[in-house]
Amino acid sequence: MTWALLILAMTWVEGAWAQFPVLTWQKFYGSEGADVPRRIITGPENTLFIAGAVPDAYGETDGYIARIRLNGQIVWSRRIEGKGNIEVRDLALVNAGKELIFCGVSGAVSGHPEDGGPIYGGDYLVGKMSLDGKLLFSKTYGGSLRDEAWALAPIGADGAVVAGSSWSANYDVENKAGGLNDAWLLRVNQFGAKMNSRTEGGAKNDWAQAAASTSDGGVVLAGFTNSEDWDGSEARHNGDVWIARYDFALKLIWRIIVRSPYEDMVYRVVETKEGRIVAAGSTFREQGKKQFWIIETDKDGNLLTEKPFGGNGFEELTSVCALRDGGFVFTGYSQYNTLANPLIKGKRDLWVIRTDAKFNIVWQRTYGGPNNEEGVDVVEFRPGEIYVLGVKNNTFEADKRPRQNDFWVLKIKERSCTDMELSCVSNFNDFSVKVNEPIRFTNQSKHGERFKWEFGDGTTWEERHAVKKYTRPGVFVVKLHGFIGENCEDVYVYPKPITVEGP
């Protein structure tokens, strides 16, 4: 099966979804070294927040949070510093949008020794800051082994549930569920004080990767399990995805495990306004072939959709945003050994996919250069206005940074398919020509990927510009059709009919 057929197996639905994306701007942030972008969220007063990690002067990393305007201008940026490696991995607005709470991992531990790996062998990091970048507190939690927070979800009176993984079974990590690495759920209040926690897992490796608040005051989490004893499976085949819902007190309401023949991962989970749960990740359906993956449940944990899609290569969806019109936008990356498809730019490409409410593709785009780029996170600021956070490893679009991983933010504006701004000019002015006299049409359209000319005499031309000779007299109307993807078509009618006179 060809690439086009694989992608378009997620069929487009006509109607209100007739749109196409326009890249409005792209900006780069971070340090001159190898940065690690993790999260982008919307903020008040027409701003966004981005977070991750940047190298420090000692060969380690600092957490990084920046506030940017909708034109890409930086309002402020700050580092979360300490001895050891620090990384911010998730953040959210709390206190009626007046404060930021963030989580991640910290090797800067003072309360107890660490025995984890040499990188990020530390504790959960949880902190809060004001919207002007002032750090209100920064605390660590964990045990004597490696504990890593991956995600958080606001809960209660400006507190949060922080989720990740723990090898520990002491200090803050109580009642360890399994034998190796377990998912660890930690609830903190608005001051960062530990309220309660629990571990989830079986005899092997398990962790939580994604978290989202739910409309009933609880949280939904998603992650990875390799433990057969969690649900009595005979074998995991390198691991499966789990999704679970908890109430305010971290009491388990339901959990499902979604299985496939090989290893699966999920990186982001959201609740829709209808109460459905949607997770984005990747799945191996054939060895060596990793595909985009969407999972959907109802509010009670019943599986509604389990859909792998994509091409014949290595692909991952790293984030999903539920849009206000009921659709979704996903980001991630793809990697292929061939450049035969026009969507492929190089090694790994940043990928953005817009779908309707039933996950039918509306449009899709890749961005990048000959080296590696990846989509990391995506948000909608207002209807039709999408911001994507990625990691960029190329020098392109007049960017003069060296080829190191940078924070990369792209603004994408959706436009109606009837707004391609098609136009053309020709080499004659009086709209009257002789039979067999050549007419050169120059396409001046602002948008459009493919074009088709109709000359009114039954003939057509399917290149951007056209040369036409009429072989008989008559009056002919010229039309220029523009196409974007498989979904969008617009048409421009040449201002006046062309009169062709005999010899």
pLDDT for 46-102, tens place per residue?
999 999 999 998 888 999 999 999 999 999 999 999 878 899 999 999 999 999 999
Say which residue the tokens 């509604």 belong to: 304
- Residues 300, 408, single domain; the answer is yes
Instruction: Please report whether residue 4 resides in a domain.
Output: no
Residue 11 resides in a domain: no
pLDDT at position 321: 98
Which pLDDT score is estimated for 92?
A: 98
Q: Which of 416, 436, 453 is the last residue of a domain?
A: 416
159 and 304 in a single domain? The answer is yes
Cβ(48)–Cβ(70) under 8 Å?
A: yes
Can you tell me the distance from the alpha carbon of 237 to that of 401, in angstroms, rounded to the nearest whole number?
42
CATH number of the structural domain spanning residue 453: 2.60.40.10
Average pLDDT value over all residues in the chain = 88
Domain match, 466 and 485 both:
yes
Do the domain assignments include residue 366?
yes
**Is residue 404 located within the same domain as residue 438?**
no
In the chain, the amino acid numbered 46 is N
**Cα–Cα distance measured from residue 142 to residue 188, given in angstroms and rounded to the nearest whole number:** 13
Tokens of 134: 């002032």
User: Do 22 and 89 fall within a single domain?
Assistant: yes
Host H or E run for residue 284: strand 277-286
The dihedral of CA 385, 389, 391, 396: what is its sign?
Answer: positive
124 and 194 in a common domain: yes
Tens digits of residue pLDDT in 402-446: 657 899 999 999 999 999 999 999 987 767 899 999 999 999 999
Q: Are residues 99 and 212 in the same domain?
A: yes
Predicted local distance difference test score (pLDDT) of residue 12: 35
Which regions of 70-188 does DSSP assign to beta strands (E)?
74-80, 86-94, 99-106, 123-130, 135-141, 147-155, 159-166, 182-188
- Structural domain for 376, as ranges: 16-416
In a domain, 22, yes or no: yes
8 lies in a domain?
no
Burial-class residue 316 by CB neighbours within 10 Å (0-12, 13-18, 19+): buried
6 assigned to some structural domain: no
Q: Which residues pair with 263 in a beta bridge?
A: none
Q: How many domains does the chain have?
A: 2
Instruction: Let me know whether 361 and 473 are in one domain.
Output: no
Cβ atoms of residues 102 and 83 within 8 Å: no
pTM of the model: 0.90
5, part of any domain: no
Do 472 and 379 lie in one domain? The reply is: no
Give the tokens for residue 493.
């009618």
| Helix%, strand%, coil% for the chain, nearest 5 | 0, 55, 45
DSSP code of residue 471: S
Judged against a pLDDT cut of 60, whether residue 115 lies above it is answered with no
Residues 454 and 358 grouped into a single domain: no
We report the CATH number of the domain holding residue 26 as 2.120.10.30
Same domain for 443 and 308:
no
